[in-house]
Amino acid sequence: MDSTSSTIDDEIAVDLTPVLKLYKSGRVQRLAGTEVLPPSLDPTTNVESKDVIISKEHDISARLFIPKTNYPPTQKLPLLVYIHGGAFCIETPFSPNYHNYLNSVTSLANVIGVSVHYRRAPEHPIPTAHEDSWLALKWVASHVGGNGSDEWLNQYADFEKVFLGGDSAGANIAHYLGIRVGKEKLDGVNLEGIFYVHPYFWGEDRIGSESNQAEYVGKVHNLWRFACPTTSGSDDPLINPAKDPNLGSLGCKRVLVCVAEQDLLKDRGWYYKELLEKNGWDGVVEVIETEDENHVFHMFKPTCEKAKILLNQVVSFIKGA
C-alpha cells in the first residue's frame, strides 16, 4: 500500500515548470517564490516593516512598510497598496524580491506600503486572489476615520493620495481593484493612480508580435486555465480588459503601464492604453517600454541599471513628477 501511495504522489498531473508541479495526489510543489524574509528595520533604506492579519479565517494578511528616516512624519504620507505577481500561483509579500522592492519604493517615494498576501491557485482558484485583494483594500479603507486596527494607517496614511500597483498577475489584480473602486467606491478613499509593471492580460485573438511565439502563447493560455478552471477562456474579462464592459469605470485619473521589449505580454500593455482611451475613461495613461529586457526582469535582476531606472519611473509616477 505504501509503495502505491508513493507512486501516486510521484505522478505529475500538471507540469508548469518553472512555476510549479501539481501531482495526481493533489500535492502542489512550488518551484519558485517559496523563500521568505521576516519583517525588519531595513538598514539600507531605513524602512520598517511589520505583518498584520486581515482575515484569519481566510488567511489574508499584509506586510506594511513605513519610512523611518523622518519619523514620526510631520505630515500624512501617501499610501501604496501593492499586489505581488507570480502567475497567481507562487510568491508572497514575504519573498525577498518583493520585500526588498517594497522597501525601495516606500523609501524613495516616501509612502506607506501595504503588500497584500492573497490566497493562491491551484488550492484557491481565481477569482479568490482578486476577492482577497478587494477585502484587503476594504480593510485599508477601514482606517479612513482613524479607527482601524493598525496605528500606522490610522495616524500616518493620507487617504486622499492612495495608489495601487502590481507586477504581472499582481498588475492584473490591481486593474480589477481599480475597476471595483470605480464602480463601488470606497468612502474617504481617493485612488490617485495605478501602475502596472508587465501586466498579465491576454485574449483569444493574437495581437502584435504574439503570432510569432506560438510555443509561449500556448503556455500563457494553459497557465490561465490552470489558475482559473471555471473560466470561459482567454477572453474572460478577468484576463482580457477588452471584454470588460466596465473598463471605462476605472476609478483613478492616472495610469502608468510598464512593458518590456522582449516580453510576450508587451503588446497587451500597449493595447490596454488604447482600450482605456477609447472606452470613455477620462484619465491620463502613459506606457513606458524597457529595451532588451523580458518579463519581470527587475525582480530577477533588481540591482541592474535598467531595474533602477524602472524603479525610479514608478517612484516618479507616485510623486506626480
Q: DSSP letter at 117?
A: E
SS3 for 110?
coil
Q: What nine digits make up the cell of 208?
A: 502584435
Q: Taking the CA atoms of the chain, what radius of gyration do you get in angstroms?
A: 19
209 an active-site residue? no
Active-site entry in 42, 150, 167, 263? 263
Q: Which long-range contacts (CB under 8 A, 24 or more apart) does 49-57 make?
A: 49/99, 49/102, 49/103, 50/152, 51/94, 52/149, 52/150, 54/135, 54/136, 54/139, 55/132, 55/135, 55/139
Active-site entry in 99, 124, 175, 295? 295
168 an active-site residue? yes
Name every residue whose Cβ is closer than 8 Å to that of residue 225 and which is 6 or more positions away in sequence: 231, 233
H/E stretch holding 50 reads: strand 47-55
Q: What nine digits make up the cell of 313?
A: 519611473
Name every residue whose Cβ is closer than 8 Å to that of residue 301 and which is 6 or more positions away in sequence: 307
Contact 160, 190 (CB under 8 A): yes
Active-site entry in 49, 115, 168, 234? 168
Catalytically active residues are 168, 263, 295
